[in-house]
């Protein structure tokens, strides 16, 4: 999701990641392993093939791939700066980073950031062949700019342990590529900051078991926020379950709460054979079984402490690193359950409300010409910043135009 300031970015990318690297240094080891690890996470990655370099239009091909990639990973190695191909890639990557709101991240594989920044040491030796080249100054500036970006340095992590280094990069990139933004769903207006705040409080790298609450009035966007967070971070967990309409399901029938327990167990443990005979049986099963996997569980629309006790009774039920997100209209449920981290869902600002209404009414970010005043009136007089109301009104209006 994007805030209104970012929602103008409507470009759709062909690749999640573009890998820039010096083949003779890293292709057969680090880059191949990184590419495979990204692929295993479902991250669409462009890695240049050696054969492609023999084609006449390689420059156009690479430029297109860079432009069509959401994230650029630059693998700096000892001989990266010896390649004019790599340096031209870097120029284009930095242009995209500055002008197209794409993200670039350096990886310092077997060199130090200062070597890249100052073209010293091994990097300086590799770059020496270009000193009299016309593009030398532009390449120097690009190297310096890239070295100043936040990234990863192999020597600084676990004494250069390559496998852990790759895992760390993939985890970070997975979070970045799964982040909800306007290029994924342009109708998710105003959520970027809200999602970041919730993710920050989750501290998913810490080993404690953490339960957080998201509270707000009906139609205020609690479920949308919880779903955005869930989609953003679920790849970091061994198991996951998003339980919708807890209040409605648990009170709809005598077996409702038992069915929700079964859903959590089946989803989180990825075992559809699991059956729950009673709520008491479900509690015992969760206490006995949920500790086997690091899980992410969302309990949406909880309104009774009994529901929380049945579905997420004690932190000791869960494996270290697990996270439980609870959405509710009633803060007292969270307080009674000793939930320490509670987020209020802010209603949409006027600008965000207009944008959301416009997407549902006109299929675009701003109202079409001639309907600006009417859109203002609908949002101000009827919506009161409630996302659900705005969506309903926008959809109704769309059917009338």
Provide the edge-to-edge strand list for the sheet that holds 69-76.
45-47, 15-20, 69-76, 103-108, 152-153
Tokens 């909880």, residue? 302
Q: Where are the beta strands (DSSP E) in 52-203?
A: 69-76, 103-108, 152-153
Gap between the Cα atoms of 166 and 43, Å rounded: 14
| Residue showing tokens 């000793």 | 338
Q: What is the secondary structure of 195-263 as a DSSP string?
A: HHHHHHHH-TTS-S-EEEEEE--TTSSHHHHHHHHHHHHGGGSSEEEEE--HHHHHHHSTTHHHHHHHH
Between the two ends of the chain, the Cα-to-Cα distance in Å is 26
The token pair that represents 58 in the structure block: 């390689």
Among the listed residues 67, 89, 112, 192, the single catalytic one is 89
Residue 192 falls in the annotated catalytic set: no
Judge whether 72 and 18 are in contact, CB under 8 Å. Answer: yes
Beta bridge partners of 325: 212, 298
Task: Give the residue numbers marked as catalytic.
Answer: 89
């Amino acid at each position: 999701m994007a805030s209104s300031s970012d929602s103008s970015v409507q470009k759709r990318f062909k690749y999640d990641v573009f890998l820039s690297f010096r083949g003779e240094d890293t292709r057969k080891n680090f880059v191949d392993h990184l590419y495979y690890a990204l692929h295993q996470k479902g991250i669409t990655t462009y890695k240049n093939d050696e054969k492609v370099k023999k084609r006449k239009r390689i420059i156009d091909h690479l430029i297109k791939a860079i432009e069509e990639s959401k994230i650029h990973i630059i693998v700096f190695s000892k001989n990266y700066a010896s390649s004019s191909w790599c340096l031209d890639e870097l120029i284009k990557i930095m242009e995209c980073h500055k002008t197209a709101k794409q993200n670039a991240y350096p990886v310092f594989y077997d060199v130090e950031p200062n070597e890249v920044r100052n073209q010293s040491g091994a990097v300086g030796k590799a770059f020496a062949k270009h000193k009299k080249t016309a593009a030398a100054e532009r390449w120097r500036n690009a190297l310096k700019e890239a070295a100043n970006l936040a990234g990863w340095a192999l020597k600084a992590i676990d004494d250069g342990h390559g496998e852990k280094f790759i895992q760390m990069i993939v985890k970070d990139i997975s979070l970045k590529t799964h982040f909800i933004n306007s290029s994924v769903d342009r109708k998710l207006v105003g959520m970027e900051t809200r999602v970041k705040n919730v993710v920050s409080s989750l501290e998913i790298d810490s080993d404690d078991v953490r339960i957080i609450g998201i509270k707000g009035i009906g139609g205020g966007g609690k479920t949308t926020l919880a779903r955005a967070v869930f989609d953003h971070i679920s790849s970091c967990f061994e198991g996951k379950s998003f339980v919708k309409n807890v209040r409605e399901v648990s009170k709809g029938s005598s077996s409702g709460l038992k069915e929700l327990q079964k859903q959590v167990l089946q989803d989180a443990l990825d075992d559809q054979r699991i059956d729950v005979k009673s709520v008491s049986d479900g509690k015992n099963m969760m206490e006995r079984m949920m500790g086997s996997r690091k899980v992410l569980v969302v309990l949406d629309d909880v309104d009774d402490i009994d529901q929380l006790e049945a579905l997420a009774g004690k932190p000791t039920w869960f494996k270290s690193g697990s996270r439980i997100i609870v959405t509710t209209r009633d803060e007292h449920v969270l307080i009674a359950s000793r939930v320490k981290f509670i987020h209020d869902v802010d209603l949409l600002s006027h600008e965000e409300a207009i944008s959301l209404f416009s997407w549902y009414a006109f299929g675009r970010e701003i109202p079409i010409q001639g309907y600006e005043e009417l859109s203002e009136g609908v949002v101000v007089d009827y919506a009161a910043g409630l996302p659900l109301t705005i969506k309903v009104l926008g959809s109704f209006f769309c059917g009338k135009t």
